[in-house]
Amino acid sequence: MKKLFILNGSPRKKGNTSILIQYLTENINSNIEIEQLFLYDINILPCTDCRACKKGNQECVLNDGMKEIYPKLDDSDLIVIGTPIYWFGPTATTKLFLDRFRPYFVNKKLSGKKAALILPAGSGAGDCGLTTEMFKRSFDALGVELIQTITSEAYDAGDTNNDAKALSEIKELAMAINSNV
Our measurement of the distance from residue 28's CA atom to the centroid of its chain's CA atoms, rounded to an integer in Å, reads: 17
pLDDT at 40: 97
32: Cβ–Cβ under 8 A, 6 or more apart, which residues? 1, 2, 3, 4, 177, 178
On the CB side of 157, how many CA atoms lie within 13 Å of its CA? 7
Query: What rounded mean pLDDT belongs to the chain?
Result: 93
Looking at residues 21-45, what average pLDDT do you find? 95
Percentage of the chain exceeding pLDDT 90:
85
30 burial via Cβ count (<10 Å: 0-12, 13-18, 19+):
exposed
Q: What is the CATH number of the domain that holds 148?
A: 3.40.50.360
Q: Is the pLDDT of residue 24 over 80?
A: yes
Structurally, the chain folds into a number of domains equal to 1
Q: 143-177: per-residue pLDDT in tens?
A: 999 999 999 999 888 888 999 999 999 999 999 99
Q: 105-142: per-residue pLDDT in tens?
A: 999 999 999 999 999 998 888 899 999 999 999 999 99
Q: Which domain holds residue 118?
A: 4-8+15-178
| φ, ψ for residue 66, nearest 5 deg | -65, -25
Q: How confident is the model at residue 181 (pLDDT cuts 50, 70, 90)?
A: low
